[in-house]
Amino acid sequence: MNSKSFRPIHARWRAFFFIAALFVFLPTWLWLFDAWQSDPYYSHGPLVVLVSLYFFWTRRRVIARTASEAKQDEAIPKLKVGDCFASARLAMTSNNFGFALLAIALALHLYAITWRAYYISALMIPLALLGLLVVLYGARVAKNFLFPLAFLVLMVPLPLAEQIGPVLEGWTASSATALAQMLGVPATNNGSQVFLANSTFTVGIPCGGLRSLIAIITLTTLFAYIMQGAAWARGAIFFAAIPIALAANTLRIALLFFVAQRWGADAGLTFFDS
């Protein structure tokens, strides 16, 4: 194998490729900015981007260190293990796997843009950046950026309200009614409607817990990553996000019914509804 293949790409060209990748996804970024402002479920999107950028910044030394090792390794000619040079330059080598990731990401991006499925295009941004990292720096460097890239998925507004919302509102209404009955409230429900002695409530999609579910999943993902401890414990924290979010929302709605039964519907809505 020719040693020239290990020569790292100039920093200016690497910057150009990253800017070009962001430009390709410009319509998607514009859609994201608009969605973050209009979709109450994903108003945290800009914070997700900032957190990912922070982790990228803290890992920049990995690239600098690998580049330094590659330069030092230029003084070791034709040291081979099998068909490859046993050197740090291998980590800087363009990888065909990276080109494959880029091709997949760009193909799905173009498909999504054509059919205005912008959330699919947005999901391809982390995949395209990962492919670009593998191409420009090699897989060994790219793996250090897996979490900040994966975390970017949480910035994407998914069409969950239409799919999961009706299921959540029915489940929340029935579970909150059962909990309210345990608190001594004579409540009954029919679907998403809950009947008290002095008032009637409809548990709509905004009260179904989807907003708190998305927010808690985002926070627990970040917390599970930065905390110290065994992998199983961190995984348990992550997977506990869904039941914790649902339980907290059920308790909130049940307490709303409790207050409404004692002091009227207006009091319950004032203190608990959001």
Domain boundaries, the chain: 3-158, 161-272
Other CB atoms within a 10 A radius of the CB of residue 39 amount to 15
Q: What is the pLDDT along the chain (274 residues), one digit of tens a residue?
A: 443 444 455 566 667 777 777 789 999 999 999 999 998 889 999 999 999 999 999 887 777 666 555 555 544 444 444 444 334 444 445 568 888 999 999 999 999 999 999 999 999 999 999 998 888 888 888 888 999 999 999 999 998 777 888 888 889 999 999 999 999 999 999 988 999 988 889 888 778 788 888 989 999 999 999 987 788 888 888 888 889 889 989 999 999 999 989 888 787 777 765 4
At residue 126, the pLDDT reads 95
CB 65 within 8 A of CB 106: no
What tokens were used for 141?
């460097």
CB 85 within 8 A of CB 79: yes
Q: Output the CA–CA distances (angstroms, integers) from residue 271 to 172, 197, 255, in the order listed.
A: 18, 19, 10
Chain center to CA of 110: 21
- Tell me, what DSSP letter sits at residue 97? H
Q: What Rg value do the Cα atoms of the chain yield, rounded? A: 25
At residue 273, the pLDDT reads 57
At residue 70, the pLDDT reads 53
Q: What values do phi and psi take at 151, rounded to 5?
A: -65, -30
At residue 51, the pLDDT reads 96
At residue 162, the pLDDT reads 74
Q: Report the distance separating Cα 139 and Cα 130, nearest Å.
A: 9
